Amino acid sequence: ELGYGDVATLLHSGNVVFSGARGKAATTAREIERGIEERFGLTSRVLVVSGTDLERALAEDPLLDVADDPSRHMLGFLQDTASRKAVRALAM
């Protein structure tokens, strides 16, 4: 309903892939957040990652060589630099 194409969910992960006009990821995320709230009455944080960025992150994943079950391989993205600092503190 928001004008994106090829929309498909990925299993029960909460992830969605779609095609659309290339634009700023943050703007697209806000538009989808508003659409979710208007359609379902729910507030949800949305993070948009381009296919190019996803491919690069997978290629640079240091665990790729030891992850022998792709169905259990998880790759996460952080929303902002403040989140990165919080995660680093937990990892130490």
Interacting residues of 74 by C-beta distance below 8 A, sequence separation 6+: none
In this prediction the pTM is 0.77
Per-residue model confidence as pLDDT tens for the chain (92 residues):
899 999 999 877 888 999 988 888 889 999 999 999 999 999 999 999 998 998 999 889 988 888 888 888 888 888 887 888 888 888 76
Report how far residue 67's alpha carbon sits from residue 79's, in angstroms, rounded to the nearest whole number.
24
Q: 46 near 29, Cβ under 8 Å?
A: yes
**In the beta sheet, which residues pair with residue 16?**
9
